[in-house]
Amino acid sequence: MKLLIVLEKGIYYNKVSYNRTYFTFYDGRCFNHDQQDKDDKQLSFKFTTNDMIIMEVDITNKYIKWIKQSTNESFTLNIDTSQDLYPCVTLGYKSKVEILTQFNK
């Protein structure tokens, strides 16, 4: 499963554009457009089938945080809130997403 926040609206047919995005990939790599020292680097935790990943987006404090529920490992990226943000999640077969407006830590 890949968790992705997209900065600009776009339509992508059977492919993913990594431009103007913030996301973490199952193998621990993260991608973002505005922090080149953290772009396409293996800085995050790894996750696989049946892992529950919580994604916290805090516009006020300008960050996105991913938390692996089973181990409480986390990874945080700062975000550019001067741009419009459009959330997007790319899933594999039989994956599920639950959107919560608030959650307890």
Domain extents in the chain: 2-90
Give the separation between CA 79 and CA 100, rounded to whole angstroms: 20
Q: What is the pTM of this model?
A: 0.70
State the CB neighbour count (10 A cutoff) for residue 90: 13
Q: Both tokens of residue 19?
A: 């431009």
Residue-wise pLDDT for 25-77, tens only, equals 888 888 777 777 887 788 888 888 778 888 888 888 999 898 888 999 999 98
Give the DSSP letter of residue 31: E
Amino acid code (one letter) for 92 = G
Q: What is the pLDDT of residue 10?
A: 44
Give the type of residue at 67.
I
Q: Give the number of other CB atoms < 10 A from CB of residue 77.
A: 22
Check whether 12 has a pLDDT greater than 70: no
- Using CA atoms, how far residue 4 sits from 23, 77, in Å, is 4, 12
As a whole number of angstroms, the distance between CA 105 and CA 97 comes to 18
